Each structure stands twice: as C-alpha cells, then as structure tokens.
Amino acid sequence: MSGQSSKDDILIFIMRHGEAEGLLTDDKSRRLTAVGNAEVGASSHWLAESYCLDNQIATALVSPYTRTRQSYQQVASTLHASQFEICADITPDGNVKLVHDYVDVLARQSIKNNAGQPLLLVSHMPFVSFFLDEICDVPKMSLFATGSVAVVRYSLSRSKGVLLKHYQGL
C-alpha cells in the first residue's frame, strides 16, 4: 500500500483496555484502576486531536469484559460512535481471522453510510497484537501497553492495512 489513501481506505483504531485491578474472582470482572482510566482518556484525546477531528467514529466493537466496557465508556466521552456493539469475538483468545472478515463488512458499511468514519476495537492482549498483524501488510508482533492504541489505514480493496502510528500513551 502506498503512502496515499484512496476512497476505499478507512482508519481502524485498535485499543487495548486501560490498566485493570488484579485478578480477584475471575478475569472477566476485573475493573479499571484510576491509572487505567487516565491511560484511556489520554489515548482517546490523542485520537481526537490527531486522527478524528470531528470526534465521530462509525462503529465501536468492544469486548464484553468489564475493563473493556469501562475503557469504551471513557473513550465515548471524547469520541462518539454511530454504532456500538459488544463483541464476544474480540476477547483475549478471539479468532482474528473471523474478526478480520467482520471488520471488512463494517468498513464497507462505514464507507457507504458514515462517510468513511473510523472503526474502533477495544480489546485485550494478545488479541490486539494478533489482530494488528492479521490486518497489516507487515506483521509487527507489537506489544500494546495498557490504554494504548494503534492506528491503521485499511484498504478495503486489498483487505490489508498499514500501521500509521502506535500511541503508547502515558
């Protein structure tokens, strides 16, 4: 993919949830810490200032775990999604190929209905790292700090993207 974008390109924001409390009873119920809220807040403000000047995103896919839903609530105070979906396929052990196919569908809808507004996924390690590698031309095996976000320019015609920036936050 060249450095230029085309009409079938869309931005995808891949975010790891903010720092969460230690394991208490089960992983799914872990809540964000104050640091986690601050991390996600910093990342969402950075996205708004750098890539999403109108503060609008087409669709937000969010893992059903408590810390990812809380992270999205923090993001939603800055970026507003036309569509929000709890997605059980983007948990830590989710199927990246299946989600890649679904993101293609959502990206087409965004270009058709939402003027190509970005997509947002809020998930976990290792899913975010594996998903980034799945959708990019060049695998990076990126580690995501808590609250960090990767920005990918994604080409629908190629079903592949290019990592533009990986913001590691606070």
Strand duo 149-155 + 80-86: pairing? unpaired
Domains of the chain, CATH where assigned = 9-167 (3.40.50.1240)
Quote the tokens at residue 77. Answer: 């105070």
| pLDDT grade for 1, boundaries at 50, 70 and 90 | very low
Rounded-to-integer distance, Cα 55 and Cα 73, Å:
14
Mean pLDDT of 62-91: 97
Dist. CA 143–CA 105, nearest whole Å? 27
So what's the pLDDT on residue 144?
95
**How do residues 103-141 score in pLDDT, each as one tens digit?**
999 999 999 998 899 999 999 999 999 999 999 977 777
Q: Which DSSP helix (H) or strand (E) runs through 10?
A: strand 9-16
Mind listing the pLDDT tens digit for each residue in 147-167? Answer: 999 999 999 999 999 999 999
* Pair 71, 17: CB distance under 8 Å: yes
In percent, the amount of the chain with pLDDT more than 90 equals 84
